Structure 1
């Protein structure tokens, strides 16, 4: 009876151990798959952020070019439309005369009000530019966070695979120990 009880206890312990190892193996596989899915998701998110960053940089570049051309246009208009010195002729003699401030002011009042509108229009892209730079910085931060998370996930997957290999090795060792105990038990029974 003592031998049969021992035999039964060993058999139950081995069965329980085997079941626990199978369950642990399934759990590890599920966890590895979940981490792989997260890495895939973060890779897609990284690509989206990268595309967004590239688009924002392109828009930023376009706005900068637009501002430069508007500034050049305004400077050209200012240079061509601000005659503070004027050539005057007096009986065939050429003399340069300075216009008074009131004459200059009168001339500026005659200019189209479009210049002011262009200045306001030029200020709007600058504000948009600042917003885009903020968005770009935020995207860069998110991108670096995604990279860090991906690296962490990759390291965790490696550690899970190492743990799985260790468990498989332990399982193999337990199975060989089980065989040894069964053989020893058979020898004892004979």
Structure 2
């Protein structure tokens, strides 16, 4: 049942993007190997460390993706996350996408620092499961402070940790006060 619901949800979330004339995702997603949680096509991560951080992620299947494309943008990162979730059957994708060379470039490498195109996003299969406010906080506050130094390993580790903590705090709030202690 969960897979059928996920497929229906993915169809509904990708339909508006297709209808708007968004370009196709510039990403080839290979078949997922058993236990695989990282697809590092940009070759910027220590995969073992990221895997260790993502595998025991409560009851969610969280995966990581990096790749380079000339069409790097927020929309590209979002569509790539949706594609990875759909093809790998994951619950949440952490995605970093950049134009070729921009993962390692610095602002002084460019005549205009705004020319550097790289984006990080968190794409859930269920937007109610991972609130937009949490995703926004991680993407707009946690990530930029680390990405400025091109430490993409730390970007993924920090994003995963903030996601874990944020989801745990939300679940605690939703559970309400615990049972009173009796002696």
Give the TM-score range, shorter chain: under 0.3
TM-score by length of 2: 0.20
TM-score by length of 1: 0.20
Which structure has more relative contact order (CA 8 Å, sep 6+)? It is 1
Q: Which has the higher helix share?
A: 1
Q: Which has the higher strand share?
A: 2
